[in-house]
């Protein structure tokens, strides 16, 4: 397992730290298993998609909070960024 962290800014300009815990497979490619946003831990329930760019690898993940995240990993600096977040709506029926 390996951790990588960076600072991100929310919509109000406040900074918070994001950390990504990864598993390196047999080919040494890192795959996210957990992310922390500040003190909040999110387990990766599912990797919904992954794709390559010339200098980055992207992962679209579903967290255990049922939100969708897109994480970007730099093959040059080995740093992670969160490039997208969508909070899933609660669809529970209230009687």
Q: Please say if the pLDDT value at position 1 is more than 60.
A: no
Give the residue from 3, 37, 32, 39 showing the smallest Cα distance to 18: 37
Quote the DSSP letter at residue 91: -
User: CB–CB of 61/44 below 8 Å?
Assistant: yes
State pTM to two decimals: 0.76
User: CB–CB of 47/60 below 8 Å?
Assistant: yes
User: CB–CB of 4/78 below 8 Å?
Assistant: yes
Quote the DSSP letter at residue 11: T
- pLDDT tens column, 7-43: 555 555 666 678 898 887 766 667 899 999 888 899 9
Structural domain boundaries of the chain?
2-86
């Amino acid at each position: 397992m390996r951790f990588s962290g960076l600072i991100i800014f929310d919509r109000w300009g406040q900074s918070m730290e994001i950390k990504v815990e990864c598993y390196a497979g047999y080919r040494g490619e890192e795959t996210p298993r957990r992310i922390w946003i500040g003190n909040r831990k999110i387990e990766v329930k599912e990797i919904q998609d992954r794709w390559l760019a010339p200098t980055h690898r992207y992962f679209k993940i579903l967290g255990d909070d049922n939100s969708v995240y897109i994480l970007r990993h730099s093959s040059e600096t080995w740093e992670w960024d969160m490039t997208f977040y969508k909070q899933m709506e609660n669809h529970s029926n209230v009687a």
